[in-house]
Amino acid sequence: MIAGYRLLGRLGAGGMGVVYLGRTDNGELAAVKVTHADQADQPDFRARFRREVEAARRVVSPWAVPVTGADPDAPEPWMATAFVPGPSLGEAVAAHGPLPERSVRVLGAAVARALAAVHAAGLVHRDVKPGNVLLAVDGPRLIDFGIARATGETALTATDMVVGTPGFLAPEQAEARVDAIGPAADVFALGCLLAYAATGRPPFGTGAVDALMYRTVHDEPDLGGVPDGLLDLLRACLAKDPAVRPAAERVAAGLVEDTPGGAADWLPAPVVRTIAERSARMLALPEIDATTAGLAPAATAPSRRRFLT
């Protein structure tokens, strides 16, 4: 148990800790991030975790996953967010291929609105990528504020450190120009995300990190296969100069055709089936034994994909 959350199983793990599937006494599901025990006593680590909690709580948007509970001062700091049973955009594209234009438009408009809320809160997300966008029947959700920071803030970030995911970061991030990283960097990453959703590949290719960084800074994006109706907007998002990129609100206005209202028709049928299958698995949760935070997982512990699919 963590506070009022019964831990049902591991969803995954990252540099800051382990993410569990949790459930409250009234049946609400949550993704509960618990920090690694050996890191919790490090002042810088605890400060970064506290900053993540504060950043996530400042963002209010139907398209961003909300915080449902947290305790950065606990012996093992933890944070819970609403659980979304759908796959990430990266998982969906890998399994089912690129999304059709209407899906990309709805996806982009919703994520752009989430980013507008991030920027209105005085924050920069800094890691907009396919793994940080979850797909649900009523629209996508932006997640993970682990490296978000306040606009103009440089504390806890080395001036020569590249922060973000190569292939989905802006030129100013690739060159570690900390003072230049602002909301426009998130818009560039959103352009990369939508190009990936529409074509199934990142616009600056794949491969060695150094090559990705170089292409991001110096080369034009590969937008072959992007529908004509999206090209102009994506080119604007992917401008090398942050000053000429549109704001997130303008991106949303340029993409919106309609907004999902609980129906799943914004997504291709195979993706909808994946969401339905994962949601159906939740019905079996009462039969799952509770997991205790801090215990080492067994060698055969399921991955997030196996656990949910």
| Residue 228 is a catalytic residue | no
- Is residue 43 within 8 Å of 56, Cβ to Cβ? no
Nearest alpha-carbon partner for 111 in 275, 271, 237: 237
For residue 14, give the amino acid letter.
Answer: G
Concatenated DSSP letters of 86-135? SPBHHHHHHHH-PPPHHHHHHHHHHHHHHHHHHHHTTEE-----GGGEEE
Torsion region of 129: left, alpha or beta (phi above 0 gives left; psi -120 to 50 gives alpha): beta
What are the tokens at 6?
Answer: 């019964």
- Sign of dihedral through CA atoms 172, 173, 175, 177? positive
- What crossing angle do the helices spanning 248-255 and 228-237 adopt, rounded to 10°? 180
What are the tokens at 215?
Answer: 């292409």
The one catalytic residue among 25, 44, 127, 228 = 127
Nearest alpha-carbon partner for 296 in 65, 37, 3: 37
Residues acting as catalytic residues = 127
